[in-house]
Structure 1
Amino acid sequence: MNRVVCAGHVNWDVTLHVDALPDPDGEAAITHQSQAGGGSASNTACALAGLGVEVPLLGSIGSDRYGTLVTEELQTVGVDCDPLVSVSGETTVKYIVVDDDGEVFVLANEGVNEAYEADDLPTETLAEADRLHLTSQDPATAMDLQQRAKRRSIPVSFDPGRRLGSRAFGDLIQDVDLLFLNEREADEVVDLLEGRQSPTVIKRGDGGAVFRDESRTISHEGFDVTARDTAGAGDAFAAGFLAARLRGRSVREALATANSCGALAVQSSGARVDLSWAAVERYCQTH
């Protein structure tokens, strides 16, 4: 079985669906609400586990009830939580507000989701990995993890997420073997992308996705889908692409798989989606 170590944020998400995003001093009606685990690394790990990949998860949680809930949920879907670090303090909680079009905005407390260090990942856990996948986290920690993997010739992928513009990720963007960005993020770092020699995958939402490297550009048009909640869709996309490539699928097939995972994610509430190869292949065949 393939093995991907995921590293980054592990949160607890409170999702509020509203009839409309209110103007300043306005009010909106909550039409549905739910709570579940979240965080980009955690979301990707769950999606990979559903696709049959072994996933040790490096991150940090607080010594509170949310930390317990997150860990229990992850273990239920098959994520290896042994590398998770529990520290004194509060698990990061994010409040995700979703409008009728499925678009989101996020409110968060500080929490402890960046309290871990690169050395918290056991050497043997990294050595047994086919890939290290980094998501949004402290840039210094991410660089340390990337260097540890590089010394062992383990490929590294990176999906920096919405905080890209406020964090010093420049070296990682240029050095990692595989980079995931959405269109807005790609526009923010266009100068850095010009210096990249390794592949970059641009996620375009309902417009599909594009893979680019030095010699080729490959695209997939995506699927026509009505979004219920876009939270976590990019994480599901990355998981689908990585899992497909680990199975030996072509880039074009991996893009189709990734877009299927993203489409399934936006049709479910919350940042997590229940993925399996059967569900992904059925979606590809019927859309």
Structure 2
Amino acid sequence: MSSPQRVALIGECMIELQEESGGLLRRTFGGDTLNTAVYLSRLLQGHAVDVNYVTALGDDPHSAAMLAAWQAEGIKTDLVQQLQGRVPGLYMIQVDDTGERHFSYWRDTSAAKAYFETNVTPLEAALAEIDVLYFSGISLAILPAAGRERLLHAAAALRTRGGKVIFDNNYRPRLWRDAAEARQWYERAYACCDIALITLDDDIAMAAQAVSAEQALINALALPVAEVVVKQGGSDTVVRLAGQPPQSVKPTRVDKVVDTTAAGDSFGAGYLAARLTGHNPAEAAATGNTLAGTVIQHRGAIIATQAMPNIKL
């Protein structure tokens, strides 16, 4: 019997506070790649795939609760570092009447920023056993320059031995010195990935000059990446394999958007789950759209397990 595929997703999980009626706050946990890891683990139950989360936490009660929650979701945590005296970051979500979310962050001393401060991280030590590495623009942004270098080096090393690398362009301007700095690191990430998941609005936001959506789509599809997936919100998702014409995939229509938190993260989980189980890119995009269309009808980044759509892989 062959060993399960091992997928590692690296990033930051934070304490999430959701503002509810009367000024009450509900505490959960979230972060872009962690959200993807949770949905990926749920979708791949029963398949020979191990989902691993890679981050640094503290030695506080919130960190312990995070680890327990991830393990309850079937996520492997042996690549997580717990750093003495450190704590996770925190963010608050406020949602307007249209379902659009607004974030406030407290993350300057987040433990995740220090993941690569040890001589050899658990990720680097286990690299020969990892089949797929998934990271995002936020994964890069929270790290100091030396940590970014080590993450990209790990990605390149994994590809050299035949592994796959997925990069999600999730762009948060406040995490970068400026857009030029972000573009520099993104170009390097695209150069060492096999699949690029691109939110077109984020791509436009970090462009060197004003660009139309039409031109931004052309630019994204021309990236030197074997597999490009362009997410356009309520418009068609566009997928392109190297040497093949792009394909458009209709989004999932919903009657009411409640909260767009984790829409892109859940799409990434659906897309990757489908690709790992042998589906083609168009089918994978449809799976991602189905999951994202369900997630945006619920509050918060992680919906209840019983609210998951019936997706067969």
**What TM-score do the two structures reach when normalised by structure 2?**
0.78
Structure 1 246/195 Cα, relative in aligned 2: closer, same or farther at 3 Å? closer
Indicate the larger mover: 232-241 or 57-66. Answer: 57-66
1:175 to 189, 192, 201: 192
Q: How far off its partner does 1:122 sit?
A: 4.3
2:39 is the counterpart of 1:47 = yes
- Aligned amino acid, residue 162 of structure 1: Y
In 1, Cα distance between equivalents of 2:157 and 2:57: 23
- Aligned amino acid, residue 130 of structure 2: A
Match of 2:8 in 1: 5
In 2, Cα distance between equivalents of 1:275 and 1:220: 26
1:216 to 227, 231, 245: 245
1:134–1:142: 8 Å Cα contact kept in structure 2?
A: no
Structure 1 233/248 Cα, relative in aligned 2: closer, same or farther at 3 Å? same
In 2, Cα distance between equivalents of 1:274 and 1:149: 34
Structure 1 104/175 Cα, relative in aligned 2: closer, same or farther at 3 Å? same
Q: How far off its partner does 1:68 sit?
A: 1.5
1:7–1:59: 8 Å Cα contact kept in structure 2?
A: yes
- Aligned amino acid, residue 92 of structure 1: G
Indicate the larger mover: 173-182 or 144-153. Answer: 144-153
Q: Secondary structure at the match of 1:75?
A: helix
Q: Which has the higher contact order (CA 8 A, sep 6+)?
A: 1
Structure 1 242/64 Cα, relative in aligned 2: closer, same or farther at 3 Å? same
2:252 is the counterpart of 1:252 = no
Q: Secondary structure at the match of 1:281?
A: coil
Q: How far off its partner does 1:192 sit?
A: 7.5
Indicate the larger mover: 234-243 or 126-135. Answer: 126-135
2:143 is the counterpart of 1:114 = no
Q: Which runs of 5+ in 2 are unaligned?
A: 174-178, 208-215
2:79 to 62, 76, 83: 83
1:242 to 268, 272, 285: 272
- Aligned amino acid, residue 45 of structure 1: A
Q: Secondary structure at the match of 2:188?
A: helix
Match of 1:201 in 2: 229
In 2, Cα distance between equivalents of 1:70 and 1:100: 30
Match of 2:161 in 1: 152
Structure 1 107/141 Cα, relative in aligned 2: closer, same or farther at 3 Å? farther
- Aligned amino acid, residue 104 of structure 1: R
- Aligned amino acid, residue 198 of structure 1: A
- Aligned amino acid, residue 238 of structure 2: V
Q: How far off its partner does 1:196 sit?
A: 1.7
Q: Which runs of 5+ in 1 are unaligned?
A: 19-28
Q: How far off its partner does 1:63 sit?
A: 2.1
In 1, Cα distance between equivalents of 2:257 and 2:67: 28
Match of 2:176 in 1: none
1:210–1:220: 8 Å Cα contact kept in structure 2?
A: yes
Match of 2:212 in 1: none
In 1, Cα distance between equivalents of 2:220 and 2:40: 28
2:99–2:260: 8 Å Cα contact kept in structure 1?
A: yes
1:11–1:38: 8 Å Cα contact kept in structure 2?
A: yes
2:311 is the counterpart of 1:281 = yes
Q: How far off its partner does 1:131 sit?
A: 1.1
Structure 1 175/124 Cα, relative in aligned 2: closer, same or farther at 3 Å? closer
1:63–1:91: 8 Å Cα contact kept in structure 2?
A: no
Structure 1 133/219 Cα, relative in aligned 2: closer, same or farther at 3 Å? same
